[in-house]
Structure 1
Amino acid sequence: MVWKQYRRVDVGELSIEDLDVDIEVEMSEDGELLFDVTIWNLTDASWERIGKGDECRIVLGWENGPSKSVVHGVVRKKKKEADGNDVKFRLQGKDRTDEQTSRRFSKTWYGKAPDGVAADIANQIGLTTGEVEAVGQQLDNNWMITKDKPVRHWLDRLVEEAQKRTDTAWEWFVEAGKLYFVTKDGRKEEAVELSFDNTLVSIGEAEGDSKAEESGLQFEALCEPRLRRGGSVVVNTDRYQGPYSLTKYRYVSDSETGDHYVEGRLAPLDVEYTVQ
């Protein structure tokens, strides 16, 4: 079966599918998702409808296969310039992490577990939930947050509360408009498989400037939109096998060149898993 590439950019009130686009979505060194989109021959009227601060959602995948939003961000820069006989329109920005988790509000929860509070906080600040793993124990007494600290401070506190109750390392992060509240060992089920029988193009020992970066694998695969930071990946090749955590990645999708792939780094995990 030959799958047809799918790419869509929703920005402001526009949804762009039929124009030539060049898309790059990359996780920065500090964990932020950055996007860089070039659109060719957009009408001036449509360009004027896009403004700095507009939300931008990028969906990648396959028309008769998986497709998913890989970033839900905010436009920070817009630029129009000539490209031969064509005109290209460039949009740059980043995921909404900072904007959403810097919000402040006050609320008290009664008899809730840390995961339940985290999910409610996501709803309060306009995010949906990605993976929110169960902690299994309630918070002591009533648990309150106040406006004197941003939401990210209280999410850090919830991580501490989860760690006290489980003796396990936890983390939270926001990606593509979703809040994740998970254990640091990566998701133990629903791992994405990377194999030469499906999307994998190449894989090998990671190269880096430090020993920490060299620990693990680097890979390139055909566009696999289900990948996300910290998620479990099952490598299934003759040379490399087993569960890994995705620590860094970059999506590239270009309608003119036909590029439609993801590359990234994997750190080994010691967990059980099932394959999506």
Structure 2
Amino acid sequence: MNDDNEQSGHSTDESGQVTTPVAARGPWARRLLSKKSGGLVVAAGLTCAVAGLTGAGTSSAAGSTSSPSVTASETSATSTPTPTATPTPKPSGPAGGGPVADPAPGGATGIVDTVSTSGFTFSTATGVKVTVDKGSTTTYEKGTHRTSARAVRKGTSVLVLGTVDSATITATKVVVQPGGDGGAAAAKAAGVIPFQKGTPSPDKSVGQIPDYTEGEGTIVSGKAADNATKAAQAVVPGGINDRVVKLSNGEYEVHNISVNWPHHVFVSKDYKVLGYE
């Protein structure tokens, strides 16, 4: 399956969730646009034979079988344009894993590296570096209780939910996980494969995979996106979930980037992971 969806428009479903239709994106394609043009440069040599010069003089020109050198000032040639290729989509995430998508609700899990007044950074279980921007509406939880930004310290295990733009998350909620390992154990158990440049993704799947066509469904936000992301990150952490798509049967496809595998995590209506590929 390909890893790219496009979104346009907005609507509200029966549960009050904001949804955005997704247009199907096909596989990555490189199309070479060639322009063929050329110019014909003809160099003709004329050898002048002078005969019978008397008085004012007369002259006649005779053709020659040899062609003299032609300088740049004596002729002009139409240069052949260099073929250009359609730019390859820029990979999203610091290590690739799919073309750049428009910012959408999602999240990631990891261990905090640095903390500042504007937010913090953390690393996922596969080494993906994520930047978190906090705002005035960002909320913090620890266990089942609300907490403050002071609970986020270096070495803390966190789940961050919010708007994902490549490897940056504008946080709406930060969940501090006491004693957590940043998803390392879960990622190992799920067999998550870290991104390696030039290494293709394996063609394999785990669990129940629906009859799914890349690009179908609608991108969701709000509680549905948060709950689906939390479910996916609990079972298959290590990458960044950059969007959540609601399928026609009511289940969800959570898109996963910045890893070689898996790229799609399928979640049930009641937010249980069904399978991934």
Question: Would you say same fold, with TM above 0.5?
Answer: no
* Higher relative contact order (CA closer than 8 Å, sequence separation 6+): 2
Structure with higher helix content: 1
TM-score (norm 1): 0.28
